[in-house]
């Protein structure tokens, strides 16, 4: 569990890093959607999802940078 926590925290391993948390949420949501698609018999394009989610995360980061 400690190694997983290191993935979403900053250098002090205590403070959550928002960018890492959103990255983890996007990955978990993509895997959940993939599982649901397989279960329901539909297709799911993880590459297209990844490109779209990456664009959204990059846009949010860019907007945050401009807004601060």
Instruction: List, for residues 6-19, the tens digit of each pLDDT value.
Output: 778 877 878 887 87
Provide the strand spans (E) within 2-64: none
Nearest CA to 26 out of 54, 60, 47, 62 is that of: 54
Mean pLDDT for 58-68 is: 75
Q: Which has the higher per-residue pLDDT, 63 or 22? A: 22
Could you tell me the residue range of the domain that residue 42 belongs to? 2-67
The first and second tokens of residue 1, run together, are 């569990």
- pLDDT of 67 reads 67
Residues 6+ apart with CB under 8 A from 31: none
The residues, ordered by sequence, that sit 6+ positions from 57 with a Cβ below 8 Å of its Cβ are 19, 22, 23, 26
Task: Kindly report, residue by residue over 23-53, the tens digit of the pLDDT.
Answer: 888 889 999 999 999 999 999 888 999 899 8
- Model pTM greater than 0.85? no
Residue whose pair of structure tokens reads 């490109």 in the numeric block: 51
- Split into its structural domains, the chain has a count of 1
């Amino acid at each position: 569990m400690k190694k997983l926590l290191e993935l979403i925290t900053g250098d002090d391993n205590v403070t959550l890093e928002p960018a890492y948390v959103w990255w983890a949420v996007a990955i978990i949501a993509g895997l959940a959607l993939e599982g649901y698609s397989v279960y329901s018999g539909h297709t799911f394009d993880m590459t297209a999802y990844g490109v779209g989610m990456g664009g959204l995360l990059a846009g949010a980061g860019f907007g945050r940078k401009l807004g601060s």
